[in-house]
């Protein structure tokens, strides 16, 4: 993957200064939105952990509107990132008119990450937030921000402990924004991510206890891309060795089982490297691999509990 940065921020780092008024998008007459603006104005200067998803894209857009060049979006690239999502994130930033910087993270190089014993997501988030923290310190940004929101507090989310340990701030959460708020405001701001489905890292498709490998990640990437090409926006391909377990919303079962679509999907998922293709009759659900956590060795379960239940989506 070419990480050259024709779309990235360049030139000398802007110096801290007074926060400008919101100028890049219209004001939304909503108490939560205005609270978010106030929080960002108080930060003066910050790095935004950007992934191209609905939450981080909205945060980056508003931060850039409020802080101007004193808000820097940073996109992490790693082995477990879907290359299609990487390019989509760059395109979204370009459409928003926001320069971003790309950094590489190296969690995949750690044996304990590849071992995939249930702490993997914590390790990945720790790698990202620590890299951003170091970048912020080098370039004079007092804060690193992420897109966590109020809904995340009522669920098991990856890396919550890592976020707290690394001192990452979450302005959307601080302003009391829910996922629905973020999608509604994003639509009002004409952001293309307003209805974008969640896209967690590809390692989350590999069952706990099964080693994460580059080959498996690329198989999942190719299989999901093939199904998205057939029109399935919300899809997960869970990697069970030779078996691909496909999750889509139940209302879309009938379309996948139409002869022409089924044959195309079968051929393309097999072409990604799977021998068998199955449809999960429970349908798509976030973090379905967490259902197997009760079968992990007690040591692994204790580690997960200690890490604040940093589970996958």
- Encode 160-203 in three state secondary structure: HHHHHHCCCECHHHHCCCCHHHHHHHHHHCCCCCCCCCCCCCHH
The candidate with the shortest Cα–Cα distance to 286, out of 198, 202, 193, 177, is: 198
Structure tokens at 95: 């459409």
- Note the pLDDT of residue 289: 63
Q: How many residues does the chain have?
A: 313
Is 246 in the same domain as 99? no
Which CATH number does the domain housing residue 90 bear? 3.40.50.620
63 and 90 co-located in one domain: yes
Shared-domain flag, residues 55 and 147: yes
* 3 Cβ contact partners less than 8 Å away, ≥ 6 residues apart: 77, 102, 104
Are 40 and 136 members of one domain?
yes
- Together in a domain, 159 and 229: no
Banded pLDDT at 28 (limits 50, 70, 90)? confident
Confidence of residue 153 (pLDDT cuts 50, 70, 90): confident
Residues 172, 208 within the same domain: no
For residue 61, being part of any structural domain is answered with yes
Which of 131, 159, 188 is the last residue in one of the domains? Answer: 188
State yes or no: pLDDT of 304 exceeds 60. no
| Domain annotation covers residue 197 | no
Q: Please tell me the number of Cα atoms within 13 Å of 254 on its side-chain side.
A: 1
Tell me: pLDDT of 134 over 70.
Answer: yes
Asked if the model's pLDDT at residue 293 lies above 60, the reply is: no
For residue 311, pLDDT beyond 50: no
Q: How many domains does the chain have?
A: 2
Are the beta carbons of 86 and 75 closer than 8 angstroms? yes
Listed residues 188, 215, 245: the one ending a domain: 188
Specify the pTM.
0.84
Span 175-200, pLDDT tens digits: 999 999 999 999 999 999 999 999 99
**Is 242 within the bounds of a domain?**
yes
Structure confidence by residue, pLDDT tens digits, 228-267 = 999 999 999 999 999 999 999 999 999 999 999 999 999 9
Same domain? For 173 and 229 the reply is no
Structure tokens at 7: 């779309």
3-state secondary structure of 277: strand
pLDDT higher than threshold 60 for residue 2: no
pLDDT tens per residue across span 210-238: 999 999 999 999 999 999 999 999 999 99
Decide if 83 is inside a domain. yes
When pLDDT is averaged across residues 302-309 and rounded to a whole number, the result is 38
> Do 139 and 211 reside in the same domain of the chain?
no
Q: What is the pLDDT of residue 169?
A: 97
Query: Do 287 and 166 share a structural domain?
Result: no
- The pLDDT score that the predictor gives to residue 220 is 98
User: Per the domain annotation, does 1 fall within a domain?
Assistant: no
**When comparing pLDDT for 224 and 20, which is higher?**
224
Contacts of 6 (CB under 8 A, 6+ apart): none
Contact by Cβ (8 Å): 279, 243: no
Q: Residue 295's pLDDT band (boundaries 50, 70, 90)?
A: low
Quick: pLDDT tens for 68-109.
999 999 999 999 999 999 999 999 999 999 999 999 999 999
Task: Answer whether residue 16 is part of any domain.
Answer: no
Of 155, 188, 221, which residue constitutes the final position of a domain? 188
Tell me which residue range forms the domain holding 175: 31-188
Same domain as 145, residue 119: yes
């Amino acid at each position: 993957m070419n990480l050259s940065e024709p779309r990235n921020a360049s030139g000398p780092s802007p110096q801290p200064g007074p926060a400008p008024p919101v100028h890049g998008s219209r004001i939304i007459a909503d108490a939560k939105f205005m609270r978010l603006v106030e929080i960002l104005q108080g930060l003066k200067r910050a790095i935004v952990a950007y992934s191209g998803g609905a939450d981080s894209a909205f945060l980056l857009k508003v931060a850039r509107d409020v802080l101007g060049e004193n808000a820097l979006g940073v996109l992490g690239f790693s082995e477990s990132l879907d290359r299609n999502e990487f390019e989509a994130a760059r395109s979204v930033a370009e459409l928003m008119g926001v320069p971003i910087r790309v950094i590489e993270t190296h969690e995949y190089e750690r044996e304990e990450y590849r071992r995939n014993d249930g702490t993997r997501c914590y390790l990945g988030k720790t790698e990202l937030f620590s890299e951003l923290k170091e970048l912020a310190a080098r370039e004079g940004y007092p804060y690193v921000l992420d897109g966590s929101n109020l809904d995340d507090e009522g669920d098991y989310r990856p890396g919550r402990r890592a976020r707290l340990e690394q001192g990452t701030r979450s302005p959307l959460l601080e302003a009391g924004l829910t996922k629905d708020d973020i999608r509604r405001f994003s639509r009002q701001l004409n952001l293309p991510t307003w209805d974008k489905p969640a896209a967690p890292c590809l390692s989350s498709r590999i069952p706990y206890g099964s080693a994460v490998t580059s080959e498996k990640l690329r198989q999942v990437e190719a299989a999901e891309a093939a199904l998205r090409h057939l029109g399935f926006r919300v899809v997960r391909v869970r990697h069970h060795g030779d078996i691909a377990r496909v999750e889509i919303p139940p209302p879309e079962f009938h379309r996948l089982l139409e002869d022409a679509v089924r044959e195309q999907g079968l051929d393309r998922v097999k072409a990604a490297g799977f021998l068998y293709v199955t449809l999960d009759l429970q349908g798509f659900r976030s973090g379905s691999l967490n259902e197997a956590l009760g079968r992990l060795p007690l040591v692994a379960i204790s580690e997960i509990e200690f890490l604040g239940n940093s589970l996958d989506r």
